[in-house]
């Protein structure tokens, strides 16, 4: 079982559920966008969000608007995206750190590259990392709408890193699929609200305590 990142030269980090325990913040925000929706529809929204944790809200909100019977025009999508951002940014910043992750980030070695790959919109994740004072740890930050696999391919090429020296740390099936598509290794951070965590049999951790 993997217990160290030291021999990896290029490490990709998802954010929600990997650096900050903020998945529930976003689940609650999606639900609160649709206060009048039937319970069974809200359950579908919740299940979809948790199953596809790494997918951006830019893709999710049009789906959820359809589910509740609201026509997803560009204007309506923009309004709901703005509402969602207002609900989550400060709550994400103030949510708990995944145990041990701060120390693991600070143990970055001089020959390593750390890259953020997240479904959070680009300007928003940049703002969050600045407010958390960890932006300088990362060599590159990729948020939505950049696809995770495209970000990984860019970094592999531009940092001249070998596939076998690279790893993605994520908490969802979407993250795993991005690693599979690009051929790099994958480390799952287990969470209680993901069926994928239960069934995944590869390298996984519950937290970063004692992880070097």
Mean pLDDT of 153-159: 98
Which CA distances in Å does 78 have to 48, 73, 75?
20, 9, 5
pLDDT for 129 beyond 80: yes
Contact between 9 and 108 under an 8 Å Cβ cutoff? The reply is: no
Residue 118, classed as helix, strand or coil, is strand
pLDDT for 192 beyond 80: no
pLDDT band at 193 (very low <50, low <70, confident <90, very high): low
Q: Rounded to an integer, what distance in angstroms lies between the CA atom of residue 11 and that of residue 13? A: 6
For residue range 24-49, list pLDDT tens digits in order.
999 999 999 999 999 999 999 999 99
Contact between 2 and 203 under an 8 Å Cβ cutoff? The reply is: yes
Which one of 3.90.180.10, 3.10.450.50, 1.10.10.10, 3.40.50.1000 gives the CATH number of domain 10-21+97-205?
3.40.50.1000
Which CA distances in Å does 13 have to 8, 43, 173?
13, 28, 14
CB-based contacts of 8, cutoff 8 Å, min separation 6: 112, 165, 166, 167, 185
Q: Rounded to an integer, what distance in angstroms lies between the CA atom of residue 122 and that of residue 51? A: 22
Least confident interval from 45-59, 100-114, 164-178? 45-59
What residue segments make up the domains of the chain, in order of their start? Answer: 10-21+97-205, 23-94
Residue 49, classed as helix, strand or coil, is helix
């Amino acid at each position: 079982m993997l217990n160290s990142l030291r021999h990896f030269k290029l490490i990709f980090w998802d954010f929600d559920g990997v650096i900050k325990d903020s998945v529930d913040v976003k689940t609650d925000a999606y639900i609160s966008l649709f206060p009048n929706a039937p319970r069974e529809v809200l359950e579908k929204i919740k299940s979809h969000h948790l199953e596809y944790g790494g997918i951006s809200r830019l893709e999710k909100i049009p789906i959820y608007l359809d589910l509740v019977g609201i026509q997803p025009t560009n204007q309506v999508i923009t309004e709901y995206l703005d509402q969602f951002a207002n609900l989550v940014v400060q709550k994400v910043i103030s949510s708990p750190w995944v145990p041990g992750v701060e120390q693991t980030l600070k143990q970055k070695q001089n020959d390593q590259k750390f890259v953020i790959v997240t479904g959070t919109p680009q300007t928003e994740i940049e703002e969050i990392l600045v407010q958390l004072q960890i932006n300088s740890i990362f060599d590159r930050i990729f948020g939505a709408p950049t696809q995770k696999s495209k970000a990984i391919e860019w970094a592999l090429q531009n940092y001249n890193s070998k596939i076998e020296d690279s790893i993605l740390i994520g908490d969802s099936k979407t993250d795993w699929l991005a690693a599979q598509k690009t051929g790099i290794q994958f480390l799952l951070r287990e969470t209680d609200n993901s069926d994928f965590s239960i069934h995944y049999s590869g390298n996984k951790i519950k937290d970063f305590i004692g992880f070097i």
